Amino acid sequence: MKRVLLRGTTALVGAFAIAVGAASVAAADEPVSGAVGGYRSPAAGTLQLDVTGRATQDPLLDASAAVDGAQVASATYCTGCSFATVTLKVDTTAYPDGPHHLTVTIRDTAHRSYAIEKDLEVWNHPPTGSPTAIMNIGSDSGGAVPQGGGNAPGGGRGGAPGGGVEGASATSCMSPRLSMFLAQKPLRVSKGVPVLLKNKRYRFTGRLTCLVSGKRKSAAEGTKISLRNTVGRKTVTKPGTKVGTSGKITLLLKYPSSRTIEFRFTAGDGKTSKVRIKVRIAQRKG
């Protein structure tokens, strides 16, 4: 199966110029190739994908879309067609806000396939007054499950000067959005809460962005991210970290007991954007 990873680039070959947005096509001698139009990320509501397929040996059969490895939509091409377009509708409201993985697969009647893969950020819950973001729990191999925490899905409101944005002055930083993810697979997830092994290091990653001139920009390198832990009724401040290149954040954390972890960005006017995640600690595997 031919796999192509797209990261915001566009390739157009001959009649495939009809594809809109990020698209990909294979070489002309490929038995099956294709392009996807209508892709956008972040995405909200229903994502309508126009999937154009081309077959050089056997007629086209169908196209399908999968999110995080599970098929969510499919459509059959016209009988005997070697070049055609079908529409797939992906309901993003079925997924928690955050990063996911989209795969569009085109097949011919001989079941040869061509796959187009895209990173997909779902963002169905814009800020509604709370500066708190929600954390998703994922793994290195993909997939994510929703995690409770915070008061509202989505990024922070509470825009503020002083955060710092790449390519812009600190005073132009507005509507900071902090997102954090457990980048390693937990032992298990119990009632929406990840269970981690006692005193084992787990990698948490994320990103901080600000809104500048109507576009979301990465926070400036070196922007401070603070860390707090709540155990029972006691909250303590722990050593935090700083934003790296392209607004990226990485921490390695290990804990001996269950707690709530809070990642926090404080803007110049004192407003905060924060992400909370509860973790349970297991003494051993199993």
Residues in the chain: 286
The H or E element spanning position 83 is: strand 83-91
Number of Cα atoms under 13 Å in the Cβ half of residue 208:
34
The H or E element spanning position 253 is: strand 248-253
Of 196, 192, 180, 211, give the one whose Cα is nearest residue 255.
196
Q: Which structure tokens are listed for 130?
A: 């709370």
Strand partners, 137: 145, 182
Residue pLDDT, tens place only, 92-135: 988 887 778 889 999 999 999 999 988 887 877 654 433 444 44
Q: Which structure tokens are listed for 15?
A: 């009649």
CB of 90 within 8 A of CB of 8?
no
CB of 279 within 8 A of CB of 196?
yes
Strand partners, 160: none
Q: Is 60 exposed, middle or buried (0-12, 13-18, 19+ CB in 10 A)?
A: buried
* Distance in angstroms (rounded) separating the CA atoms of residues 67 and 280: 28
pTM over 0.85: no
* Distance in angstroms (rounded) separating the CA atoms of residues 129 and 175: 11
Q: Which domains does the chain have, with CATH numbers?
A: 2-122 (2.60.40.10), 132-282 (2.60.40.1930)
Alpha-carbon 77 to chain mean position: 30
Q: Which structure tokens are listed for 198?
A: 């006692």
* Distance in angstroms (rounded) separating the CA atoms of residues 169 and 260: 34
Strand partners, 36: 51
Alpha-carbon 231 to chain mean position: 29
Residue pLDDT, tens place only, 198-231: 999 998 888 888 777 777 778 888 888 899 999 9
Q: Following CA atoms 128, 134, 140, 143 in sequence, which dihedral angle do they give, to the nearest 10 degrees?
A: -70
pLDDT tens, per residue, the chain with 286 residues: 444 433 333 232 333 333 333 333 444 468 999 999 988 877 888 999 999 999 999 999 999 999 888 899 999 999 999 999 999 999 998 888 777 888 999 999 999 999 998 888 787 765 443 344 444 444 333 333 333 333 333 333 333 333 444 443 343 456 778 888 887 888 888 877 888 999 999 988 888 887 777 777 788 888 888 999 999 889 999 888 988 887 888 999 999 999 999 998 877 766 678 888 889 999 887 6
